[in-house]
Amino acid sequence: MSHALRILIVGQHGQVSQALQHSLKDLGELIVPGRERLDLSQPESIRALVRDIKPDVIINAAAHTAVDQAESEPELAFAINATSPGVLAEEAAALGIPFIHYSTDYVFDGSKDGAWTESDVPNPLGVYGLSKLAGEQAVEQAGGQYLILRTSWVYSLTGRNFLLTMQRLLQEREKLTVVADQIGAPTWAGTIAHSTRELVERWRDGKPGAWGVYHLTNSGETSWFGFAQAIGQQLVKAGKPCATLEPIPSSAYPTPAVRPLNSRLDCTRLQREWGVSQPDWHDAMLECLAQQP
């Protein structure tokens, strides 16, 4: 029987952290410090905490994810998304333990025709993407056993996200416009947590793949408009009101931060190296919605 792990999850209330706490709970002891104990805007405070806890694995599920807000508070975005992951990775390397960190499709500029691979050169369009790329580089510089998992369009039944926002707006309004020229894979936080569990188990059982950067999203692709349509279809099936949807280009919905038009990530390397694959985005969405009260 495998021994119980002492797992430090950084980030307490985010979508991925909540899913991890559910998915990993029987692997051992989960330590999930709150902001009063771990303030990521003060990265140096992290070292003492890690040394006090002495975990077997560190999973960083914390991030400054307010993409537009990051444009006006770059210092905070870089402290949370770049400096803190670097410190965590350094402490993990010093302890000789795995460090798992989540990154984003926003490290790319969206200009490629096909799906982005791990070997493609990043070129972020805004502060959020720049800060996440700097975090990746800090983790890589720390060395050790690390996994950087880039994901996209994360949603769940908690927090603020596209799924919950669309469910509300589609029931409140008669007509709704949604951007249709940004393409990617909506990714359920539950899928990320389940895949992370598989990765931890493979390491624990002495069968890890290569450490490094990987892409982890639900499979398939759609647009934000297509995602909204799929959400609306489920509302109609449930006998709930649903607005009429109208597709619009990104140019018709200007935001402080520019979004990449092509956010498709090629996830075949994770499957090849670690034997971990993800379900189709639509199937994952239905599984997520089945858990909604």
CB neighbours of 200 closer than 8 A, spacing ≥ 6?
5, 7, 24, 27, 57, 98, 100
Dihedral sign, CA of 200, 202, 208, 212? negative
Q: Is 273 exposed, middle or buried (0-12, 13-18, 19+ CB in 10 A)?
A: middle
Q: What is the CA radius of gyration of the chain?
A: 19
CB 217 within 8 A of CB 265: yes
pLDDT of residue 43: 78
Find how far residue 255's CA is from the centre of its chain.
Answer: 21
| pTM, two decimal places | 0.96
Please identify which of the residues 102, 106, 128, 155 carries the catalytic annotation: 128
pLDDT of residue 169: 98
Across 156-168, b (16+ Cβ under 10 Å) vs e yields bbebebbbbebbe
Kindly give the confidence (pLDDT) of every residue in the chain, 293 residues in length, as a single tens digit, with 9 standing for 90 and above: 468 999 999 998 999 999 999 999 999 999 999 888 888 888 778 999 999 999 999 999 999 999 999 999 999 999 999 999 999 999 999 999 999 999 999 999 999 999 999 999 999 999 999 999 999 999 999 999 999 999 999 999 999 999 999 999 999 999 999 999 999 999 999 999 999 999 999 999 999 999 999 999 999 999 999 999 999 999 999 999 999 999 999 999 889 999 999 999 999 999 999 999 999 999 999 999 999 98
Written as one string, the DSSP assignment of 104-129 is: EGGGS-S--SS-B-TTSPP--SSHHH
CB 133 within 8 A of CB 81: no
- The amino acid present at 95, given as its one-letter code, is L
What domains sit in the chain, N to C, each tagged with a CATH number? 5-160+187-219+264-279 (3.40.50.720)
Measured CA distances, 257 to 69, 72, 143, 147, 224 (Å): 8, 10, 31, 27, 16
CB 177 within 8 A of CB 170: no
3-state class (DSSP) for residue 207: coil
- Is residue 128 among the annotated active site residues? yes
Find how far residue 134's CA is from the centre of its chain.
Answer: 16
CB 282 within 8 A of CB 271: no
